[in-house]
């Protein structure tokens, strides 16, 4: 790497001569700037990273030594050399005390300058290597801390960094930015005197893990000073973990910040770029899943689509974990699959793989929507074994009578247990489930497309008792026969075909 040089002298000829006297590039340096006095030099060092300063000792308003001392007080790290037209012990002593590489007499001797430049490069190289080792060591230690991996040895080292005995509030921030903005974020943290952070590169993004020490007021002040807010690139995110009062609980804050970030990306949410944990893992959608079964029995495409959308809206509102949403999607898909039995084994396995590997909620929602549309569009044709097809034909022709699996098995001269197992294996439903669902489908059609009353419909589909029929209909559809007729009489888009 090349180091940046700043030349400071009020004599143009001296500065110009220093630029040309040696090959700076060959020695690993480049002239970053020049200044005529200390004020100009300090101003330039506010915006530029300077590694080596060569300054005249005698300048108006502020001497070279006063300039060096002022720059060092700004916590800037750099090497420097002193130039002078005459040798004066006090200046020589002062320069050495401040850490000068050398004290060069004008006119500058080329070999003396070259020797001093090589010495400066060696110091800078050693410092960079040490900083790299320190940064790597610090990164490992902080990573162990947030991941809850602090052992006895690393505890002693961590205690030297953060004073674990001191009572303090801790909050983990995860800052996800483009690699280009990583430098800007690190500079912001350093300007705010924040040192407990490390970074990871993730593809074209960088993730900066910062452990903030301080109360919520100070935290808000830090976030208010965030320079990314005014950036044209709006792809940054800051996830704020919960504030904890014990250094040992920092892993909990990190976990919460990480969960918040992952859930935000999973749901592809929009809004503020600063994320706070508002999710709860204490939720129960079992009632919604049970009701979805009834919605499938109703068999109206729009109602099924709406119900699926409502369930996904609930998962997003409560911030359900991605793995929980995938499990809910699996359960809903299995209900659809058992109800319509519409996929062959290869297609079925492909859908399960898609669910397991989906990275966001919208994709999972889409999988179910496609599944339902596929059933509606294709009106599935099923390929059953001869014995199972005979049972289905029997149900469709004699559903108005008192059918049982036993009597059907006897009429087909088959073992009743064998036939029951075979029927469920191929249709994904028991005999009684299939019979009841077929009867309910016939009842739905009569409610929608005839003027028969409930008593007449109950009789036509094989129920002697209309009250019992209404109870079964309500249990399977979550609507009474009357409610179903009123709701879907004029707008019913059937899903699937029995």
- Is residue 56 within 8 A of residue 9, CB to CB? The reply is yes
Q: How far apart are CA 320 and CA 365, in angstroms?
A: 14
Q: For 187-209, how does the pLDDT look when each residue is reduced to its tens digit (9 = 90+)?
A: 888 888 888 898 888 878 889 99
pLDDT for residue 345 is more than 90: no
Helix (H, G, I), strand (E, B) or coil at 201: strand
Report residue 48 as tokens: 């530029």
Which residues are paired to 178 by β-bridges?
205
Helix (H, G, I), strand (E, B) or coil at 383: coil
Report residue 86 as tokens: 């005459």
pLDDT computed for residue 135 by the predictor: 57
Helix (H, G, I), strand (E, B) or coil at 267: coil
pLDDT for residue 5 is more than 90: yes
pLDDT for residue 58 is more than 50: yes
* Antiparallel, parallel or unpaired: β 79-84 and 197-202: unpaired
Q: How many CA atoms lie within 13 A of 486 on its CB side?
A: 5
pLDDT computed for residue 280 by the predictor: 55
pLDDT computed for residue 480 by the predictor: 93
Q: For 132-152, how does the pLDDT look when each residue is reduced to its tens digit (9 = 90+)?
A: 555 555 788 888 888 888 877
Long-range contacts of 290-297 (CB under 8 A, 24+ apart): 291/478, 292/332, 292/335, 293/335, 293/339, 294/476, 294/477, 294/478, 295/478, 296/335, 296/336, 296/339, 296/495, 297/339, 297/437, 297/440, 297/476, 297/477
How far CA 7 is from CA of 16, 65, 107, 403, in Å, comes to 9, 14, 15, 102
What DSSP string describes 476-493?
HHSS-HHHHHHHHSS---
**What's the pTM?**
0.51
pLDDT for residue 379 is more than 60: no
Report residue 129 as tokens: 């290597």
Which fold, 386-488?
Answer: Arc Repressor Mutant, subunit A (1.10.10)
Q: For 150-182, how does the pLDDT look when each residue is reduced to its tens digit (9 = 90+)?
A: 877 778 878 877 888 888 899 999 999 988 888
Nearest CA among 19, 26, 72, 66 for reference residue 50: 72
pLDDT computed for residue 34 by the predictor: 94
Mean pLDDT taken over the chain? 85
- Is residue 240 within 8 A of residue 216, CB to CB? The reply is no
Which fold, 152-248?
Answer: Alpha-Beta Plaits (3.30.70)
pLDDT computed for residue 378 by the predictor: 55
Share of the chain above pLDDT 70, in %: 91
Who wins on pLDDT, 441 or 497?
441
Report residue 319 as tokens: 């911030």
pLDDT computed for residue 365 by the predictor: 93
Helix (H, G, I), strand (E, B) or coil at 116: helix
How far CA 139 is from CA of 133, 136, 175, 211, 261, in Å, comes to 10, 5, 16, 12, 21
Q: What is the mean pLDDT of residues 14-29?
A: 92
Cα torsion through 12, 18, 19, 24, rounded to 10: -160
Which residues are paired to 53 by β-bridges?
6, 80
Q: Which CATH architecture has domain 3-127?
A: 3-Layer(aba) Sandwich (3.40)
Nearest CA among 268, 361, 348, 379 for reference residue 308: 361
Cross-sheet strand order for the sheet of 103-105? 29-35, 3-8, 52-56, 79-84, 103-105
Lowest mean pLDDT among 56-70, 87-101, 104-118, 210-224: 87-101
Which residues are paired to 239 by β-bridges?
174, 275
Query: Residues near 348 by Cβ (< 8 Å), separated by ≥ 6?
Result: 337
Q: How confident is the model at residue 89 (pLDDT cuts 50, 70, 90)?
A: very low
Which residue ranges make up each domain of the chain? Answer: 3-127, 152-248, 286-378, 386-488
Q: How far apart are CA 104 and CA 62, in angstroms?
A: 19
Instruction: Locate all alpha helices (DSSP H) within 319-360, ordered by sequence.
Output: 322-340, 345-357
Report residue 80 as tokens: 């420097």
Q: How far apart are CA 299 and CA 487, in angstroms?
A: 13
């Amino acid at each position: 790497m090349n180091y940046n040089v700043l030349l400071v002298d009020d004599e143009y000829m001296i500065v110009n001569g220093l630029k040309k006297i040696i090959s700076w590039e060959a020695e690993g340096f480049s002239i970053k700037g020049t200044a005529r006095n200390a004020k100009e030099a300090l101003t330039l060092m506010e915006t530029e990273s300077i590694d080596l300063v060569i300054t005249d000792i005698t300048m108006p308003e502020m001497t070279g030594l006063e300039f060096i001392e002022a720059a060092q007080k700004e916590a800037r790290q750099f090497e420097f050399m002193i130039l002078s037209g005459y040798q004066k012990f006090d200046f020589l002593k002062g320069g050495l005390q401040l850490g000068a590489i050398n004290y060069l007499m004008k006119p500058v001797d080329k070999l003396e300058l070259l020797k001093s430049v090589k010495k400066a490069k060696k110091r800078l190289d050693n410092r960079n290597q040490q900083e790299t080792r320190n940064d790597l060591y610090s990164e490992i230690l902080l990573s162990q801390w947030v991941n809850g991996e602090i052992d006895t040895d690393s505890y002693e080292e961590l205690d030297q960094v953060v004073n674990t005995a001191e009572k303090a509030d801790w909050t983990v921030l995860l800052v996800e930015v483009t690699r280009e903005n990583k430098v800007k974020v690190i500079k912001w943290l350093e300007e705010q005197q924040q040192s407990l952070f490390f970074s990871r590169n993730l593809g074209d993004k960088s993730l900066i893990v910062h452990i903030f020490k301080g109360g919520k007021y100070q935290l808000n002040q830090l976030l208010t000073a965030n320079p990314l807010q005014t950036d044209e690139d709006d792809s940054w995110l800051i996830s704020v973990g919960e504030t904890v009062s014990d250094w040992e609980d920092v892993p909990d804050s990190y976990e919460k910040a990480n969960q918040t970030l992952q859930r935000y990306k999973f749901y592809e949410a929009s809004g503020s770029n600063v994320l706070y944990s508002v999710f709860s893992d204490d939720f129960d959608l079992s009632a919604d899943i049970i009701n979805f079964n009834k919605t499938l029995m109703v068999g109206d495409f729009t109602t099924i689509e709406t119900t699926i959308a409502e369930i996904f809206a609930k998962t997003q509102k409560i911030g359900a974990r991605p793995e929980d949403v995938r499990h809910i999607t699996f359960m809903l898909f299995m209900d659809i699959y058992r109800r319509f039995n519409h996929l062959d084994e290869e297609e079925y396995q492909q859908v399960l793989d898609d669910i397991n590997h989906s990275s966001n909620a919208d994709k999972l929602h889409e999988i179910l929507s496609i599944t339902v549309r596929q059933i509606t569009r294709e009106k599935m044709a099923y390929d059953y074994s001869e014995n199972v097809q005979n049972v289905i034909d029997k149900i469709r022709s004699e559903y108005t009578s008192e059918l049982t699996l036993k009597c059907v098995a006897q009429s087909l001269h088959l073992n009743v247990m064998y036939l029951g197992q075979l029927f469920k294996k191929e249709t994904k439903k028991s005999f009684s489930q299939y019979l009841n669902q077929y009867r309910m489908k016939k009842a739905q059609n009569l409610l929608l497309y005839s003027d028969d009353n409930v008593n007449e419909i109950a009789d036509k589909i094989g129920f002697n008792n209309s009250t019992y029929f209404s109870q079964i209909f309500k249990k399977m559809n979550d609507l009474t026969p009357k409610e179903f007729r009123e709701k879907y009489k004029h707008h019913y888009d059937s899903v699937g075909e029995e």
